[in-house]
Homo-oligomer: A and B are copies of this chain.
Amino acid sequence: MSKQELVVLAQDDADGCCGRLGSAPLDEDQAGDLAKVFKALGDPVRLRLLSMIASRAGGEVCVCELTPAFELSQPTISHHLKLLRQAGLVDSERRGTWVYYRVLPAALERLAAVLTAPQAAEVNA
Residues of A within 8 A of B (CB): 21-28, 31-32, 34-36, 38-48, 50-52, 54-55, 69, 103, 105, 108-109, 111-113, 115-117, 120, 124
Option from B24, B31, B69, B109 in Cβ contact (under 8 Å) with A44: B31
Residues of B within 8 A of A103 (CB): 21-22
Sample (30) of A-B pairs whose CB atoms are under 8 Å apart? A21-B50, A21-B51, A21-B55, A21-B108, A22-B54, A22-B55, A22-B108, A24-B55, A25-B52, A25-B55, A26-B51, A27-B48, A31-B44, A31-B45, A31-B48, A34-B41, A34-B47, A35-B41, A35-B47, A38-B38, A38-B39, A38-B47, A39-B42, A40-B42, A41-B41, A42-B42, A108-B115, A108-B117, A109-B116, A112-B112
DSSP majority for the A interface? helix
Residues of B within 8 A of A46 (CB): 35
